[in-house]
Amino acid sequence: MTGEGEREGEGGPEEDPGPQVSGEAPSRAFSRRMLEALVCPVTGVALSYDAERSELVSRAANLAFPIRSGIPIMLVDEARRIKD
């Protein structure tokens, strides 16, 4: 039973995650919209996506942030140091 003003099975509009970045299975794919919204926590510069390693790369900071189960881990302590 639902309360006044509520309809069974009706929820808020589902947000479209946008196109998925290729290179991973659909359940683990990373949203391009998410990539556009994230910046390096150290430099504030845009990140690039490395699908092969499942990482977000900040060339400015020489860091690669892992993506685990589709969730970017934007902690410097978790980032992998990359060479120039």
Give the model confidence (pLDDT) of 21-80 as tens digits.
444 444 346 677 888 889 999 999 999 999 999 999 999 999 999 999 889 999 999 999
Task: Please tell me the predicted confidence (pLDDT) of residue 34.
Answer: 81
Task: Please tell me the predicted confidence (pLDDT) of residue 14.
Answer: 46
- Give me the mean pLDDT over the 8-17 stretch: 46
- Give me the mean pLDDT over the 4-31 stretch: 48
Q: Per-residue b/e over 13-50, b at no fewer than 16 CB within 10 Å?
A: eeeeeeebbeebeeeebbeeebbeebebeeeeeebebe
Residue with structure tokens 């069974």? Answer: 8
Element (H, E) at 63: strand 63-68
Task: Please tell me the predicted confidence (pLDDT) of residue 84.
Answer: 67
Residue 46 φ/ψ, nearest 5 degrees:
-60, 150
Q: pTM for the complete prediction?
A: 0.65
Task: Please tell me the predicted confidence (pLDDT) of residue 30.
Answer: 67
